[in-house]
Every structure is written in C-alpha cells, then in structure tokens.
Structure 1
Amino acid sequence: MVGVLRRSLLALVATAGLAACTSEKPKEETPTSSPAPEKASPAPEKAEAGTSEFDLNRGGDRPLPTKVWLPATAGARPLIYFSHGLTSQPDDYAELLTAWQAAGFVVAAPKYPHTWHDAPEYNAGDIVNQPADAQFVITEVLKALPGRIDANRIAAAGHSAGAITTIGLFSGSRDERLKAGVLIAGRQMPQPAPFAGTPSPLLFVQGKLDETVTYEQAYGAYNEVTWPKGFLELPQGTHLPHRDQPAVVAATTTDFWHWTLDGDEAAKQKLPQDASSTGVAGLTSTF
C-alpha cells in the first residue's frame, strides 16, 4: 500500500500543477480571546487564548516546527491537525485557523520540511512522506499538551497538497485516531488507495473555478467516499476558496467541527443554512 501511495502522490505532483498551492504571504498574528460557542451544556471555564511553538523533528532531515493555536477554553478540547499546501506555511491560513481557535478548538499546524515556501531543499514530491509526519506531530502535540487536548476527539484538515496529505491519513496511511476531516481543494491520487478504516465524516470545500485542483477532480474524490460526506461548492471560487469566501468557509467548517467533534446536533442542522446564507456557496451532503 505504501508503494502505491508513493507512486500516486509523485504522479499527482507531476500532473496536477501543484507547484504553488497559494500565493498568500504570512500575516502578523495577535492572540485572540473570543468566547466559546453557545451550547446546551454549561459553558466551560475560560483560559487565555494564544499560540505556542514546538520544535519537533521526526529524525534526520525532517524538522517539523509546529504552531499550535490554543482557545480561550480551559480543559481538554478537540484537536484539529492542519496541513498547508505547496510553497505555503501555517500562517498563510491564519484567518481560518484562528476562526476554529475562537470556536473552542485546538489547532496544530507544522511547516513540512521540504514543501513550505522557504524550505532549504524544496521538493514537491516529498508530500509522499507527509502523512507519516502528520501522525508524528499529532502524537507529540498530545504529549506536550495532555491537559488541553481530548485524545478521543482528533480531526485533520488541509489545503491542496495538504488536502492530499489528509486524504492519505484516511486511506493508505489511515490514522484511526481521526474522527473527521476537511479537504480544501483536495483530490484523490491518480491510482487511488481506497478510503479505509472506521467511517469518519469528511467535508470537501471546492471552488468551481479552481484550475489547479479542478472541480471534476475534487468531486471524483468525493464520490469515492462511502462514509457520511459533504461537498461545499463555491461557484466563483478559485484554488483558494478559504480566501475567496472566508466567512462562509469558516462558518460551515466550524459547524462541521462542532457536530463531528462536539456531538452538537444543532450545528449539524445549521450546516446547509450557513453554507447557503450569502448565496455564494451550496452544500451537497449525505450527513
């Protein structure tokens, strides 16, 4: 299975035009202290929101400096692991990741050693190694923050090549700790490994005008999923749907996290409404 995944990922890099998943530049970030979302259960204790940095390394040439966004909520909260796209880094997605943080989730995102924009030895084909990096980082962050993360509520998300990495975590490199996933501008490999393991809800987010990962490629991956799944379509969206319509993407994905990680059925019911609230997107799902 590893050999299939390696060949598939390398073929994808050669054919899908993923040389640059984003042109966004890192933005300066300041800690936030937004309140936890309203729930039927009593509100959890508050804590100081902010970020932490961890200098992780999976041995040899695989440094994985990881930024963690901590919410203003004390106690153990769900973890969302995020994978950036080629020539990108976590701070390029700060607007979306801080929205998840403000909703009460811990978010962890590393710089992959050979695919972020200032990598000393840039190599797009190295995405074949990123699912193993992801599993390592999740394990280390759990060790570092045992009182802040609920180890039974972990999810994964990613954009472009990061979404391909995330697909790996639900297929050929299945991580059974993952309860849900969000794939932004993501697609399956040319020789796909089937989605495997315990069924976990997946939400695809796709711009119909994306020329890097096409609508047809993304929808093809969606069709391969036999679990509960959703497809958030932005008709005027490009390869950066989270930047084209940040409010819609943030609201819909946050609903999804509250449902899948918090067990919030009201959030599940809000998904179609938040997806279509401004008329710029629509949701198809089997939820």
Structure 2
Amino acid sequence: MRVQRLVPAVLVALVAGCGPAVAATDDRVPSFRPAPPRPYAVGVRHFVVDPDGSRPLPVTVWYPAEPAAPAHAAAPATTRLAAGPTGSEAAAAPVPWPDAPVAAGRFPVVVYSHGLHSLPDLHAPLTTRWAADGFVVAAPTYPRTNLRAPDFTRADVRNQPADGWRLIRHLVRLDARPADPLAGHLAVDRFAAAGHSAGGFTTAGMFTSGHPRRLRAGIVIAGGGLAGSFAGPAAPLLFVHGGADPIVPESVGRAAYDRSLGPVAFLGLPGQGHGEYLTPGRPGFAQVLAATTDFLRWTLYDDRRARDRLPAVAVLPGVTTLTTRALPGRR
C-alpha cells in the first residue's frame, strides 16, 4: 500500500485551514437487524457524485452480496483472527464481484477516505473484509489528492470533509431511489467515517460541531485532528497509529485522542511506521483488522459482544497495545 508524505508544516496548514463540514439532516430511521453471524460474498460498483460539478467525486462501493458465503466457509474476521493472529487471514481475502446482486437487508455504511497519492483500491485488503462482515463501504477518490490527480495539492485536504458529507447525502438519496440496486439496502441512520493518513485527518474533520447523529463512529488511521474536529455530538472513535511513524508522528494521533469526546480507543503499534500494518501478512494486520471490524460491529450494529471482546482481539504482546477512555463496559 502506498504511503503518503504529510510533513509537519503541512499538518499545521491543514489544522489551521479546515472549516466545518456541511451536514445532512436526520429525517428517517429505517428498520434494522442484528450483526450478521457469517460472512457475505462481496460486490463492487462505481459511480460519480456530481459528475458535472466543480468537484466530481468518483466513488468505489464494496457491499455484502448474494449469495452469502456457505455455512462451511471461514468464520467472520472477528472470530477468525481472535483464534490465532498468524497471518493466515491473507488467504481469506474476498474477491469482489462487479455489480453483484446486493444481499437482502439493510447494512450500515462506512465512508473510507484514502491518503495523499493514493486510491480506494489500494485499501481493498481492509475495505473488502469489512464488506464481507456486513458493511457497505463507500470510498471516494478525492479530486486533488489522489494518485492520478492532474492538479495535485495536499492543501485540498481541508475541503475533503465536506466531500465526505456530500457523499453521505448522495447515499441517503440513493437509498430512496427505487431504480438503484442499493435502494432499500442502506441503513441511512448508521454511518461511520474512516481513513488513513490524510484520509484520517479528513475523517476527523467530519466530526465538527452540529454534525448529524447519523455519523455514529470514526476510525482515524495514522492521522490526527483538523480545526473544529471532535466538537460534538460525541461519537465513539478508534485511533490506529504506528509508534515510529515518520510521516505523521504518533504524538499527533495521541493529541487527537486526548481531544476526543465520548468513548475512545487508541490502538498502538510500537516500532511500526506509517501503514505497513495495513498489508495482509505483516505484523499487526490481524489485530488492526479484528479491532476495526469489532469496533464497527459495536458502534453500527450495537453488538455488545464485539465491544466486549475488542481488548482481546486488539492486543498481541510485542505487536500492539490498546488504550481506552470511557469505553462502555471498561474502566
């Protein structure tokens, strides 16, 4: 996975320059069901939000697909990795099926933000596994920070939280559009935001004052806060950070952790850098995958068992550490 150069001077500029995100309104709460007990096949589709606007936003969507995985298939990621974090999870990576039929039911949505000089597909080892576990993952390609941007500028990160909210509003409308394959399958009151590096800063920037409660949780990987972040309403947050990150120092993530409101956890990877732990088979990948998946199952499916096992699946002595504050069920 490609890493991004986000030097301290740029961090200062981003923190100073990010304005509040534009928020949607919570006006409909559809019926919902418990977390799925077994994994799904994974579908993938692409579309563009505002194709004729000033900031067209290509989006890759991974989603639970039919047919669901057979009963004899591997257990969900949270169960499989808890049994033995040996790197065998790499063989279980789902292969997305373009435009596959969407599985029955409604699914929570994760908006995943890539980092500088990156693309959604470079994060597929994580995002496809989340989709197999029962989440729709919508990953925008940001117009001026992606790998192929003709007018690349890292300062445009300040505009990306609003892009994330633009995507959320589009998905809410899409869920009500009968002709769309995803219509009726999105739990539009249950969104999370997640992202790596500059995408982590983008994620933090979506949690500003007045953001709607439909945004229920966030995962910041190798990132930190932007101006106005964590102003409420309070939402559970999970930070993931390498202890020897040379691009975004761990202290930046720790400072954002300290500023966070509500339940918060910090998954540390001592001695690791900016994102090698996001590669299957590398030390820490099993724990990052298990922790992020159980965090999403807890916050978006109200799965208390996932919440309670989070410390056990997240920590491998010598590889990962976990710090929590105000986590329900934990002191």
Q: TM exceeds 0.5?
A: yes
Matched, 1:211 2:246: yes
2:115 is the counterpart of 1:95: no
Amino acid in the other structure paired with 2:148: D
Between the aligned residues of both structures, percent identity stands at 43
Inter-partner Cα distance in structure 1 for 2:61 and 2:318: 33
For 1:238, the equivalent position in structure 2 comes to 273
Unaligned runs of 5+ in 1: 1-8, 17-39
Q: Does the 8 A contact of 1:158 with 1:184 survive in 2?
A: yes
State the Cα RMSD in Å.
2.6
The 8 Å contact of residues 201 and 260 in structure 1, kept in 2 or not, is answered as yes
User: Is 1:165 the counterpart of 2:165 in the alignment?
Assistant: no
Task: Give the alignment partner of residue 186 of structure 1, picking from 219, 223, 236.
Answer: 223
Q: 1:150 to 1:45 in 2, by over 3 A?
A: farther
For 2:55, the equivalent position in structure 1 comes to 62
Shift of the 48–93 alpha-carbon distance from structure 1 to 2, 3 Å rule, reads: closer
| Structure 2 equivalent of residue 174 of structure 1 | 211
Rounded Cα–Cα distance in structure 2 between residues aligned with 1:43 and 1:127:
35
Contact 1:184–1:206 under 8 Å retained in 2: yes
- How far, CA to CA, are the matches of 1:15 and 1:119 in structure 2? 19
Q: Which stretches of structure 1, 4 residues or longer, exceed 4 Å deviation after superposition?
A: 13-16, 40-48
**What is the aligned counterpart of 1:148 among 180, 185, 199?**
185
Aligned residues of 1:58 and 1:133 also touching (Cα < 8 A): no
Out of 52-61 and 70-79, give the one that drifted further: 52-61
Residues 122, 226 of structure 1: alpha-carbon distance in 2 compared, 3 angstrom cutoff: same
In structure 2, the residue corresponding to 1:71 is in which secondary structure?
A: strand
The superposition leaves residues 43-62 of structure 1 with CA deviations (integer Å, 9 ceiling, x where unpaired) of 58997631011122275331
Change (3 A) 1:211 1:175: farther
Which secondary structure state, in structure 2, belongs to the residue aligned with residue 122 of structure 1? coil
SS at match of 2:53: coil
Counterpart amino acid of residue 59 in structure 2? T
Give the residue type in structure 2 aligned to 1:157.
A
Task: Give the distance between the partners of 1:146 and 1:12, measured in 2 at CA.
Answer: 39
TM-score of the aligned structures, taking structure 2 as reference length: 0.71
In structure 2, the partner of 1:247 is: 286
Structure of greater relative contact order (alpha carbons < 8 Å, 6+ residues apart): 2
Q: Which whole-Å deviations, capped at 9, do the CAs of 1:103-128 have from their partners, x for residues lacking one?
A: 11100001000000101211111111
Shift of 1:247: 1.6
Aligned match for 1:76, one of 106, 124, 145: 106
Deviations 1:164-188 (A, max 9, x none): 1111101268354200000000112
Task: Tell me the residue number matched to 1:272.
Answer: 311
- Alpha-carbon distance change, 15 to 129 in structure 1, aligned in 2, over 3 angstroms: closer
